[in-house]
């Protein structure tokens, strides 16, 4: 469903991606792990076409993302939870969640869009009371969940979650992990998730890929992660200060 081959991306003189190869099968849940600043978010943004790679090819469902004729139709396949939430601060929560259902190719009648928004809010553990509030009136964890509700609002085929559990309490993180797993299983969606939370990795992934030094350092089924012999992988999953990963950035 998603194929990256030899993807390179630099910003000025900073080389971030130096030949990323990655494949995600339809209905698979892939989790990307790796240190802060290694280019995980940049990788997701390249797949969405929000950032253009300098080199390499990215295909979604066989289609080259840099060559898509109809961007609206291409983007309609995706749901995305941005790392920073990226909610629109001047419109109420329900209109954030239903944003794509209120305009463009996925447009629905307003009352139906509102109902869907309230149902998606419920799925992420938020009561209908929040629907008419503004994002600024919510806590950080609640905003995160609104972002998640927006990502799943239009029942996308492909979902990207950038740090879905960061800033949530352990119980709510568990709820969100279960929800992500459910979305993949029930909706048959293909998911790419970025997380630092190893509990989350174990709860939601079929496969794991570790980004380091601009490349995929290790990838494989989550069941093989603990026995993976790569020292970078082991240092990361055990959270050890000692190992080959440079901690000064």
Ligand X SMILES: Nc1ncnc2c1ncn2[C@@H]1O[C@H](COP(=O)(O)OP(=O)(O)OP(=O)(O)O)[C@@H](O)[C@H]1O
CB-neighbour burial class of residue 249 (10 A; exposed 0-12, middle 13-18, buried 19+): exposed
Give yes or no for residue 84 binding ligand X (CB under 6 A): no
Residue 249 binds which of Mg ion, ligand X, none (CB < 5-8 A, kind-dependent):
none
Sign of torsion, CA 114 164 191 54?
A: positive
| Residue from the set 26, 37, 170, 182 that interacts with ligand X by CB under 6 A | 37
Query: Residues in contact with ligand X, total (CB under 6 A)?
Result: 12
Segment interacting with ligand X, rule: CB under 6 A, options 37-45, 56-64, 87-95, 172-180: 37-45
Residue 88 binds which of ligand X, Mg ion, none (CB < 5-8 A, kind-dependent):
none
**Tokens encoding 190:** 């293909």
Give yes or no for residue 166 binding ligand X (CB under 6 A): no
Encoded one letter per residue, x for contact with Mg ion by CB under 5 A and - for no contact, window 85-124 reads ----------------------------------------
**Shortest gap between Cβ of 180 and ligand X (angstroms)?**
18
DSSP 103: S
Q: Which of residues 26-85 bind Mg ion (CB under 5 A)?
A: 41, 83
Please state the length of the chain: 249
Measure Cα distances from 135 to 138, 222, 223 in Å. Answer: 6, 35, 38
Strand residue runs (E) in 13-171: 14-24, 29-33, 55-60, 63-64, 78-81, 158-162
**Shortest gap between Cβ of 193 and ligand X (angstroms)?**
12
Segment interacting with ligand X, rule: CB under 6 A, options 33-41, 69-77, 178-186, 228-236: 33-41
* Paired strand residues for 24: 2
At 59 the three-state DSSP class reads strand
* Paired strand residues for 9: 17
Q: Which residues bind ligand X (CB under 6 A)?
A: 11, 14, 16, 34, 36-42, 83
**Residues in touch with Mg ion (CB under 5 A):** 41, 83
């Amino acid at each position: 469903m998603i194929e990256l081959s030899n993807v390179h991306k630099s910003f000025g003189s900073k080389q971030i991606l130096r030949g990323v190869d990655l494949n995600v099968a339809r209905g698979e849940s892939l989790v990307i792990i790796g240190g802060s600043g290694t280019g995980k978010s940049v990788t997701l943004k390249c797949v969405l076409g929000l950032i253009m790679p300098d080199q390499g090819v990215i295909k979604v469902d066989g289609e080259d993302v840099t060559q898509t004729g109809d961007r609206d139709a291409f983007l309609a396949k995706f749901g995305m939870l941005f790392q920073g939430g990226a909610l629109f601060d001047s419109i109420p929560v329900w209109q954030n969640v239903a944003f794509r259902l209120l305009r463009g190719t996925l447009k629905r009648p307003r009352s139906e869009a509102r109902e869907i928004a309230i149902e998606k809010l419920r799925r992420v553990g938020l009561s209908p009371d929040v629907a008419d509030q503004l994002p600024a009136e919510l806590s950080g964890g609640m905003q995160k969940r609104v972002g998640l509700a927006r990502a799943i609002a239009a029942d996308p085929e492909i979902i990207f979650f950038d740090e879905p559990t960061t800033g949530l309490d352990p119980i709510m993180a568990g709820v969100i992990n279960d929800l992500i797993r459910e979305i993949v299983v029930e909706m048959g969606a293909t998911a790419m998730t970025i997380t630092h939370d190893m509990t989350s990795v174990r709860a939601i992934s079929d496969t794991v890929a570790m980004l380091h030094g601009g490349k995929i350092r290790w990838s494989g089924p989550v069941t093989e992660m603990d026995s993976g012999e790569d020292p970078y992988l082991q240092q990361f999953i055990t959270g050890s200060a000692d190992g080959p990963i440079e901690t000064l950035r």
